Amino acid sequence: MISSSLIGAVSFVDCITQFMWYTNLYDKIVYGLRKSPNNNYEMEYVNKMKILIVGCGKVGSTLTEQLDREGHDIVIIDNKASVISNITDTLDVLGVVGNGASYHVLLEAGIESADLMIAVTNSDELNLLCCIVAKKAGNCHTIARVRDPQYINEIEFIKNEMGLSMIINPEHEVAMEMARLIRIPSAIKIDTFAKGKIELLKFQIPTNSILDNMKILNLNSQLRCKVLVCSVERGNQVFIPSGNFELHTNDKISFIAAPREAAEFFHKIGLISNQIRTSMLIGGGTIAVYLANKLIASDVKVTIIEQNRDRCEQLSETLPGALIIHANASDHNILLEEGIVETDAFASLTNLDEENILLSLYAQKKSRAKIFTKITRLTYDEIINDMPLGIIVNPKLITADRILQHVRAMMNEKGSNVETLYKIVGNKVEALEFRIRENSLVAGIPLQNLSMKTNLLICCIYRKGKVIIPNGQDSIQVGDTVIIVTTNTGLNDIRDILD
């Protein structure tokens, strides 16, 4: 029987052995050796935080895995001993079995020395209570997941009055992500840097594209566009490409550019998409409501198909600007009658992954719409990634990504200069925005003279309102915003790019 005590206790001999091992590697773990361009080594403190995570469902376990990978000290709290055991058996984290809103449980987990507490249980009210108790017990930063739509207009009030660092609503985040992608129909992912001045966009090279068999070094000369390809996904492989890398049909490429240059690039490669005017949403859940409100405000016609009659009546009152259809969308005749062939955007947002997959496959076959497929399970990524499902949206992963971005921003206070972080190819590739606030080992030196890590690309420098796609002669200067794309995770400082 497991009590509400720290999981992972070891024998006295094991403790001594582990202590000696950690002592020998202390400098590598805590300080880390950093190599300067002159091959000199200096000692520098590597930032990490102590983070408590309450609730070990899909979001909590995803957060735990990613934050542990970045070297933070993690303690997880959950009522279920089996859940705690499963995670502590696979990750280097500690676990406490108990109620995360309990003062004594939080003390046992080390709240007094914690930098951050994240509450992501299935209960909004419990998450908020956990944050209140944590603030009183440890005076740490707090993040709460709050999903109920009735709180959406009160988020800022709740956050400010309770002193929370962040409140995140997964369904609202998914809807906002989808709305951004609908704005640029050719893109399948859009991330922004430098307060929107720089965009990182992903799209798939279609059949018979001008890009097929083109080398990256010829992009700018042939198309005369200021863009830089940062990563290429080809099947299960991911590349940080060199100039001699050759693009092929069906490659998913991520490129960086100013918004105007991105639009021009899409135009020149023949991906000219008409503005989306009509949309069909399957399932009338919370995501559909948030998304419909956003689309209606942008003058996009919205049709929602929902099979629960009571929910249809609620939607009719909530969304007077949308057409609500009471029907079962799994009947393909219904989809045809309601205009799936002509619609510009199609989103399958039911609570069943299997139904969403089948509906999106049918939409892919019958229409030229931009397709979104909601997937909540994380188990079959390799299988569904090979299916023509359009843009896959996963509320759990989007929530985890937003929280990770906030954690990176918090680390600025502890010495990190990472402004923004995005996972652009699952957990394989990161895009980071660094703000150069003071003289650094990398400043003032031509990029071609820096000894940088492999699989790392300096994609863009933003300097005094100007977007620079750098070459070897360019250098990083104090005051710059620098965008890095790499497969090396856990970078905290611009100096971490050095080999």
Report the pLDDT value the prediction gives residue 154, as an integer from 0 to 100: 87
Report the pLDDT value the prediction gives residue 171, as an integer from 0 to 100: 92
Residue 113 Cα distances to 19, 96, 117, 139, 499, angstroms: 21, 16, 11, 9, 33
Same domain as 125, residue 255: no
Same domain as 68, residue 126: yes
What residues have CB less than 8 Å from 477, skipping those under 6 apart?
Answer: 436, 443, 444, 463
Same domain as 139, residue 57: yes
Final residue before a domain boundary, out of 264, 297, 321: 264
Residue 7 lies in a domain: no
Residue 310 lies in a domain: yes
Residue length, the chain?
A: 499
Final residue before a domain boundary, out of 349, 366, 393: 393
CB-based contact 355:348 (threshold 8 Å): yes
Report the pLDDT value the prediction gives residue 426, as an integer from 0 to 100: 66
Same domain as 237, residue 358: no
Residue 117 lies in a domain: yes
Sort residue 118 into left (φ over 0), alpha (ψ -120 to 50) or beta.
beta
Same domain as 132, residue 17: yes
For 324, the domain range is: 278-393
Report the pLDDT value the prediction gives residue 195, as an integer from 0 to 100: 76
DSSP-derived pairing of the beta strands 345-348 and 278-282: parallel
> Edge-to-edge strand order for the sheet containing 198-204?
189-193, 198-204, 252-257, 228-234, 237-239
Final residue before a domain boundary, out of 136, 168, 200: 168
Residue 233 lies in a domain: yes
- Number of folded domains in the chain? 4
Residue 367 Cα distances to 342, 360, 364, angstroms: 7, 10, 6
Same domain as 158, residue 45: yes
CB-based contact 257:199 (threshold 8 Å): yes
Q: CA 122, CA 287: separation in Å to the nearest integer? A: 17
Q: CA 117, CA 492: separation in Å to the nearest integer? A: 21
Same domain as 426, residue 388: no
Same domain as 229, residue 81: no
DSSP 8-state assignment for residue 30:
I
Same domain as 386, residue 282: yes
Same domain as 127, residue 29: yes
> Which tokens hold the place of 385?
């990634």
CATH of the domain at 483: 3.30.70.1450
Residue 205 lies in a domain: yes
Closest listed residue to residue 424, CA positions, set 468, 486, 365, 379:
486
**Residues of the chain where predicted confidence (pLDDT) is lower than 50:** 1-46
Residue 270 lies in a domain: no
Same domain as 365, residue 328: yes
> Which tokens hold the place of 214?
């083109």
Report the pLDDT value the prediction gives residue 416, as an integer from 0 to 100: 56
Report the pLDDT value the prediction gives residue 191, as an integer from 0 to 100: 84
Report the pLDDT value the prediction gives residue 42, as an integer from 0 to 100: 35
CATH of the domain at 305: 3.40.50.720
Residue 271 lies in a domain: no
Residue in the block written with tokens 């000290």: 73
Same domain as 98, residue 199: no
pTM here is 0.75
Residue 5 lies in a domain: no
